[in-house]
Structure 1
Amino acid sequence: MAEKIQFELVSPAKLLVSSKVDMVVVPGAEGDFGALALHAPMITTVRPGVIDIHDGGKVSSSVFVAGGFAEVNEERITVLAEEAIPVGELTAEMAEARKKAAKEALDDAKSDRDKAHAGRLMLVAEAMAAAVA
């Protein structure tokens, strides 16, 4: 039996996942990466997208994250997410509402900072829409 890696997914609201799994695939800033037991240590940012949790030779669950940070070492992967929602709880209506709010924020943005924030909201909304598609 292959070694498992401890996976913890934490959002500001709560600890969503804390379990030993075969592998976790994370949407990293430089592209998706898989973390297994004995992975080389690293810290990276997480872009908006879906984390796939693999156990028993298949994807056992998927969680949408709005971004955050991931720390990986030989025994554990910890993702600190800005927001995390199980994919099964997402709806197309939620994603569309996010897109609408992001577009309004972009239209109303006056400063570069406001435009950057609105652009980030749009990235999250688009990633959420892709997760429910």
Structure 2
Amino acid sequence: MADSFNFELVSPERLLVSGSVSEVVIPATEGEMTVMANHAPTMTTIKPGIVTVKTADGKKDRYVVFGGFADIIPTGCTLLAESAVHVDEFNSDDITRRIDVARKELEHVKSDDQKFGIETYLAELTTLQGIVMPV
């Protein structure tokens, strides 16, 4: 049996998860990352994606997040999300709205850095849209 650790998923609206888990997969900016007990201390930014939480009894839960950051220590992980919701409560209109806003912002960018950032965000949203709302 895998060791457990404390995990908290917090959004500005509410605390979504707080408890002992065996594994968490987070959409870190540099790629998906699996966090387990005794993980090396790490801080990472989070991109739009799915957080998968596995409890000690093997049950899995999934949450849609839109950015944020995670603080990981050997005894726990706290993910502070810009926005987060359980996958069952996800509203497909939300991701469509975010894509539309990003596309409009892209029309008015002034620098290459801004353009790159928005294009990257659009790619992440589009990927997330394909995961959460498969055709």
TM range (shorter): 0.7 to 0.9
TM-score (norm 1): 0.82
Asked whether the 8 Å contact 1:25–1:33 carries over to 2, the reply is yes
SS in 2 for 1:12: coil
CA distance in 2, matches of 1:13, 1:21: 22
Runs of 4+ residues deviating >6 angstroms:
none
Indicate the residue corresponding to 2:99 in structure 1: 99
Aligned to 2:76: 76
Cα distance, 1:38–1:102 mapped onto 2, change above 3 Å: same
Aligned residues of 1:87 and 1:131 also touching (Cα < 8 A): no
Deviation at 1:81, TM superposition (A): 1.0
Q: Residue type matched to 1:90 in 2?
A: F
Provide the TM-score with structure 2 as the length reference.
Answer: 0.81
1:43-79 Cα offsets, whole Å, 9 max, x none, are 11111111000122242x1111111111111110011
Q: Extract unaligned runs of 5+ from structure 2.
A: none
Match of 2:15 in 1: 15
Q: Distance in 1 between matches of 2:102 and 2:33?
A: 28
Instruction: Quote the offset at 1:19 in angstroms.
Output: 1.0
RMSD of the TM alignment (CA)?
2.2
Distance 2:16 2:34 in 1: 19
Query: Counterpart amino acid of 1:36?
Result: M
1:65 corresponds to 2:65 = yes
Matches within 5 A, 1:1-133: 1-55=1-55, 56-59=57-60, 61-107=61-107, 109-112=108-111, 115=115, 118-119=118-119, 122-123=122-123, 125-132=125-132, 133=134
Q: How many residues align?
A: 131
Gaps in structure 1 of 5+ consecutive residues:
none
- SS of 1:129's equivalent in the other structure is helix
Instruction: Give the distance between the partners of 2:105 and 2:34, measured in 1 at CA.
Output: 34
Deviation at 1:14, TM superposition (A): 2.1
Aligned amino acid, residue 14 of structure 1: R
